[in-house]
Structure 1
Amino acid sequence: MLGMSPKIASQADGGNTPANIKSLSIGWMMAFLFAVSFLGLFSIVPLRKVMILKYKLTYPSGTATAYLINSFHTPKGAQLAKKQVAMLFRSFGFSFVWAFFQWFYTAGDGCGFSSFPTFGLKAFKQKFFFDFSSTYVGVGMICPYMVNISLLIGAVLSWGIMWPIIETKKGIWYKAELSDSNLHGMNGYRVFIAIAMMLGDGIYHVVYMIVTTSLSLVQQYSSRRKANSTVSSEVGNESSQIVNFDDQRRTEFFLKDQIPNWVAVSGYILLAVVAIIAVPFIFHQLKWYHILVAFSFAPILAFCNAYGCGLTDWSLASNYGKFAIIIFSSWVGLEHGGIIAGLASCGVMMSTVSTASDLMQDFKTGYLTLSSPRSMFFSQVFGTFLGVVLSPLVFWFFYNAYPIGDPEGTYPSPYGLLYRGIAILGVEGVSSLPKHCLTLAIAFFAAAIVLNIIREVLQHVDAKCKIYRFIPSPMCMAIPFYLGGYFAIDMCVGSLILFVWEMKDKRSAADFAPAVASGLICGDSLWSVPAAILSLANLNAPICMKFLSAATNNKVDAFLTGS
């Protein structure tokens, strides 16, 4: 949605025609979410027994949630939960107070602790600094070490090495008069090389997931045929199913409250018809047959994503969305609003595919906690209803209170420009790229695939040394290519805190680090609400704390004294 907005479109400097720009409004955003957010739930319901009982997919996040819920019902678990809640509120209070303290020094642009040149002014210009964000430190404590290190590697590779070299080609590779935010200039390298890495990583994982799914299905079919080939193997198979009393009990509860398949199929068809009628009214660039094609393929992709999520805990909804952008933006064309059509189709595809895997994760949690699948389904429906109402309201509040999408502001929203860049690539083709940008993009696209292949090979060959754990993630490396390294540094600080804590007391870190991290994130985020209210009331901070070089400071002093 941000990629559709005039603010992001002005940064892209490509395809900025009235047909390819849509001003954000709370009305159409909420209507769009109502039209497309529920289909994924109905698309995957008929496959719940196949996924959970037949294929016995693990769904790691759903399984972990179930074990956590079950542990709360033991005396030890309840006692630990109380300590975790206490720790969460302590870190929450610290984070909130720290964010409140920082606010007093942010009276203007570039003011405050978030602009502290930690490693010097030259490094600060290349976006290498620690911005004292409790949110990113908390996120760093939650994310795996290699994710944070991958972010830092991507920042060093791009802002530390590549961009300074490309900037020396200004006037040769691209026009010198172009601004840094222009996609035909320096920003084109940042955006499209990042997109290339993301697409390379996404294509690899989609292909890998399809291959894994196909092999798993073939293996399931072969084992079932082998089990049915002899009476003895059939008897043995039945006995193995009834030996485990816990599994038998869970299966009994899981099959108790059923959702008829005809209800799921009818619901999907009805909601699809509503969306086919409604979405073209919201986005006139999309026709009814575009939406029909999207919803025809959506259940297949939802199954692939839900199955792959059950095997690996990866949801590839964003990757399916990126492919939808390229396909539909190319189909519609630039002159007919292909950029908006691609971005809207991305929203349709992501909503359908992601909610399907989320629901199946919850079915797995319900299966392990002896919860009714019908209750889980209607809880998801109700939760989705709340989401399509509250999410646009919260977003609209922040969108009006803060300069969302400002590349130099607190909320630069890099993915808005990245997704719009994918749509521009779909409608304009590679001719819109600056010189040598396509060559570099292809190289990084291939590098993303190669890194994934190396990691996969090492994971199967070198299981003892586990060298594969040190292969960086291309998707994570791509994010700082546009945004810079400051948030990666914050997250690495979070990793460092966790590492030292684990060295000192590993059990304590395992029990309380997630609570501390959650408190840091929530406290800093909650301060955004009173800060937004103060901003709407035109109440500004009393102090501006800026950092200048010695030479600049002397000039300012001379100007103020009149000498």
Structure 2
Amino acid sequence: MEHDEDGRHSVVRRDVHEATGYPVATDSYVVHPVHHWGDNKNPVEAADDEPRGQIVPMDKSGNLKDAYPKVDESMGIEADYMDVPLPPWREQLTLRAFVVALVLGIAFSIVTHRLNLTVGIIPSLNVPAGLLGFFFIKTWVKLLTKAGFTSKPFTRQENTVIQTCVVSCYGIAFSGGFGSYLLGMSQFAYEGVGVDTKGNTVQDIKNPSLSWIYPFIFTVSLLGIFVLVPLRKIMIIDYRLTYPSGTATAVLINSFHTPSGAKIAKKQVKYLGKYFTFSFAWSFFKWFFSGLDNSCGFDTFPSLGLKAYANRFYFDFSMTYVGAGIICPHIVNVSVLFGAIVSWGLMWPLIQNREGDWYPAGLNPGRDFRGLFGYKVFISIAIILGDGLYNFFKVTCVTVWNLYIQHKNRQQLPSTVTKSEDEDNLDFDRKRRDQIFMKDSVPYWLALAGYVILAIISMVVIPHLFPSVKWYYVFVAYIIAPLFAFCNAYGCGLTDWSLASNYGKLLLFIFAAWAGAGGGGILAGLAACGVMMSIVATASDLMQDFKTGYMTLSSPRSMFTAQLIGGIMGCIVGPATFWLYWKAFDIGSPNSTYKAPSAVIYRTMALLGVEGFGSLPNHCLQLCAGWFAFAVVVNAIRDYIPKKYSRFIPIPMAMAIPFYIGAYFAIDMFIGTCIVFLWERKNKTKASTFAAAVASGLICGDGLWIIPTAILNFAKVNPPICMFFFRAKDPILATLG
């Protein structure tokens, strides 16, 4: 999902638009994922020969072809499905679909929390959701058939419902702020900012507790499902917005339900299962050597030397980050590594040499904002804001311009043209899809009533949970939320960029300043950020799902219901799985695996809204201004020079991630990108088809190891061995032997 420390936004290359569309009627296609990375859907241009994200064609026998054709909407597909009965919308919502969605939603929520609490890079799990949904239901049907029972056929509409429900469920693990704004309210974030920092008061502490997390999440996370329902026809049919992620997912699901597509899907699931097993077993093996504390084990292996380890340069053998590197485009991984080298290899050692001059000596380098820690956090924020604001204004301009073009074109009479055969196919597909999309419309009164009722509940509940948030703060937020949701959904339909976190940060600053210092301004800003971010992100996701449903002939009512049920699942599963981490691990500790760095960053942003920049160390503001300008200029250069050059320019948002966290995960992700690069050199087609499945297996296997780890921690069972490293000259050798 920007890297926004927190987020769910996609890193999408511009060639996704060219690579998505309808499959040729005689062939099947496998589409690789749009990548979730942080919270800003910045498009990342891939190399001309990079196949990830393209549609991989197969012949009728299920064999992969070597070519990478560009597919567009002129290629008809619905004629192939004319003999397939279209299930009514209620029959698309099956019990087995929701059971599978719940299981996958729990698993993916655990993985999402793990990533949120470490580095905040969230790869897309849409493809694994579609793949595993397909595999589980097919297996279910096969087992029942062998047992002599009859079972309903598995349709692409049911597959779409599963994928929609899973994404809606694990999306709450992101938008709920469990690694960002929600934890920014906690004691450890308060201490991380500095107990002596002006404006950072104990009145602005609210530690996590299920007693208030559940009502808050239920209150803010479901509103976005209702806000844009009345505009679905305008977005999908009238404006014909692309929604590349939704389109790519639809092509994937359509391809699964052809004979050759099902064959490839099963192969992908086998890859996912094999590497899931390997990753889970490797995590189990590592556990044996991680005794005593977090200084033990492979996670602290000084693979590049002890000096590099002291500057957080080491490979920590984490399959999660290797998998993330496999999924993310090369430029993202290289940008992360470049940011790590610039910060931990150059800037921080140089600034540390100015200790006693630029800032007082003897300060805690991992906690005190008056010292080196202040430079790390504020420069990271400057880059994040520079990148985010640039893309905010860019997408806003794109949205306004395209709205003007749409309006202008509607005022002009179309000229007479002769239709080609492709256009006839296109008209057939469009007419068929338009007919189904408008047949089972969601009543406008239901959407309006749902939004108003939840808004009224919010104006009662949120001020009760956060006394510094007045009811009229919530009222103002809900008045402007539909406008922001429309802008974000429209821009996402054009570019696949979601700026939900930027809208959240905008309200964070506004409401923190509105509440003011000493009046709970930090809590007010963080809560307002959560309200806006949840609404805007969920509304955009729903419109993506409507696009997927439009292209798979799934009923809008089934899409809306699946999104709503998935959201309710997420409101239950998200806090519960987060609580597993919170109780089993020392979240936020500098020595913990789960440092939750975004929590401190979000609290610092709220503090800036309340107090301004008065507490910064010397020259920090000038450095922040320079890096802010750097982010803006680099983004502008990337947008306005030819693609063959811009693909080599690093992404500022990706560079900002290691500035605060460290370089260790950058090494892991770079190894992942090297694996894919070498695999592509050996067999580009196979790499394009199975890389996402391999990455998903590595991520899920390592992520799900958290369950037995938590159980062992609860049972106070410690690893039997502590493996650690020291210099040969250290006196500890004298005590050995």
The TM-score normalised by the length of structure 2 is 0.73
Matched, 1:342 2:518: no
Alignment correspondent of 1:424: 607
Distance 1:225 1:235 in 2: 21
Query: Which secondary structure does the structure 1 equivalent of 2:440 belong to?
Result: coil
What does 1:166-181 correspond to in 2, within 5 Å?
166-180=351-365, 181=367
Query: Which secondary structure does the structure 1 equivalent of 2:359 belong to?
Result: coil
**Identity percentage over the alignment?**
54
Question: Which of the residues 424, 437, 441 maps onto 2:620?
Answer: 437
Give unpaired runs (5+ residues) of structure 2. Answer: 1-181
Alignment correspondent of 1:89: 273
Greater percentage in helix = 1
1:557 deviation in Å?
2.7
Distance 1:304 1:49 in 2: 16
Matched, 1:399 2:582: yes
Matched, 1:212 2:398: yes
2:200/2:607 contact within 8 Å kept: no
What does 1:222-241 correspond to in 2, within 5 Å?
222-227=408-413
Change (3 A) 1:19 1:248: same
Alignment correspondent of 1:498: 676
Alignment correspondent of 1:252: 435
Letter in 2 for 1:556: I
Alignment correspondent of 1:138: 323
2:387/2:652 contact within 8 Å kept: yes
1:300 deviation in Å?
0.7
1:260 deviation in Å?
2.0
Letter in 2 for 1:351: S
1:170 deviation in Å?
0.9
1:111/1:546 contact within 8 Å kept: yes
Distance 2:623 2:582 in 1: 34
Letter in 1 for 2:292: G
Aligned CA-pair RMSD: 1.7
1:234 deviation in Å?
10
Change (3 A) 1:536 1:520: same
Query: Which secondary structure does the structure 1 equivalent of 2:395 belong to?
Result: helix
Can you list the C-alpha shifts for 1:335-394, whole angstroms capped at 9, x where unaligned? 001111111111101100000010000000000000000110011011000101110000
Alignment correspondent of 1:457: 640
Distance 2:589 2:226 in 1: 38
Can you list the C-alpha shifts for 1:127-176, whole angstroms capped at 9, x where unaligned? 11000000000010000111111111111111111000110111111111
Distance 2:440 2:664 in 1: 50
What does 1:24-39 correspond to in 2, within 5 Å?
24-39=208-223
Letter in 1 for 2:384: M
The TM-score normalised by the length of structure 1 is 0.95
Letter in 2 for 1:386: M
Distance 2:649 2:445 in 1: 46
Alignment correspondent of 2:40: none
1:262 deviation in Å?
2.3
Letter in 2 for 1:96: F
Alignment correspondent of 1:68: 252
Question: Which of the residues 340, 347, 350 maps onto 1:165?
Answer: 350
1:233 deviation in Å?
5.2
Q: Which is bigger in relative contact order (C-alpha 8 A, separation at least 6)? A: 1
Alignment correspondent of 2:145: none
Alignment correspondent of 1:198: 384
Query: Which secondary structure does the structure 2 equivalent of 1:106 belong to?
Result: coil
Question: Which of the residues 387, 390, 403 maps onto 2:570?
Answer: 387
Alignment correspondent of 1:5: 186
Matched, 1:487 2:630: no
Matched, 1:541 2:712: no
Question: Which of the residues 10, 17, 23 maps onto 2:201?
Answer: 17
Alignment correspondent of 2:464: 281
1:19/1:285 contact within 8 Å kept: no
Distance 2:667 2:416 in 1: 57
Alignment correspondent of 1:43: 227
Query: Which secondary structure does the structure 1 equivalent of 2:442 belong to?
Result: coil
Change (3 A) 1:444 1:241: farther
Query: Which secondary structure does the structure 1 equivalent of 2:271 belong to?
Result: helix
Alignment correspondent of 1:153: 338
1:204/1:449 contact within 8 Å kept: yes
Matched, 1:329 2:512: yes
Give unpaired runs (5+ residues) of structure 1. Answer: none
Can you list the C-alpha shifts for 1:450-505, whole angstroms capped at 9, x where unaligned? 011001111xxx25xx2111111111111111001110110110000011111101
